[in-house]
Amino acid sequence: MEPRLDRPKEAIDRLFEAAVAARAHAYAPYSRFAVGAAIRTASGAVFAGANIENAAYPVGLCAEAAAIAAMVVAGEREIAEILILAEGGEPIMPCGACRQRLFEFATPETMIHSAGPAGVALSLTLAELLPHAFGRQSLAP
């Protein structure tokens, strides 16, 4: 699938650079798979995160979760777009749990950009990654 980059290149470049910088600090001694993520919020601010693993494997944190935590702690809650960066054979896609985490602070139209060292390889909406999602609208009033 072709990248859907209807955003100005500078906006994507800023996210890419933030994800590269965050990925450099990834703590991934077990998988050796370093991931960086960068969120642009509705205000235009950028928040980045990297994966942080743990000897107790399931306790490890994904890069997306770290970026969301940085965003929320800074007082922001609206993800306008997110770029995820890794070096692998296939474009990196958020795990199922992170798709759900993103859904809490994004919309079905929010773009998820998957990047490798050469730049964005694939861009999808959150609805494409997590259709028929469970969210606050699903809870009883």
Q: Which is nearer to ligand THU, 46 or 129 (CB)?
A: 129
Which of 9, 31, 45, 88: binder of ligand THU (CB under 6 A)?
Answer: 31
Shortest spacing between CB 66 and ligand THU, in angstroms: 8
Which distant-in-sequence residues (6+ apart) come within 8 Å of 35 by Cβ?
A: 23, 26, 28, 50, 51, 62, 63, 84, 85, 86, 92
> Mask: binding to ligand THU, 69-88, rule CB under 6 A, as x and -?
---------------x----
Q: What is the C-alpha separation between 84 and 87, in angstroms, rounded?
A: 10
Judged by CB under 6 A, does residue 60 bind ligand THU? yes
Please say if 78 is a catalytic residue.
no
Which of 39, 67, 94, 110: binder of ligand THU (CB under 6 A)?
Answer: 94
Q: Six-digit token pair at 27?
A: 């703590």
Residue 116 β-bridge partners: 119
Q: What angle do CA 67, 43, 94 make, to 5 degrees?
A: 30
What residue spans of 45-107 are helical by DSSP H?
A: 63-73, 96-105
Q: Which of 2, 17, 53, 64 is catalytic?
A: 64
Catalytic sites, residue numbers: 64
User: Which residues lie near ligand THU (CB under 6 A)?
Assistant: 28, 31, 33, 35, 51, 53, 60, 62-64, 84, 92, 94-95, 98
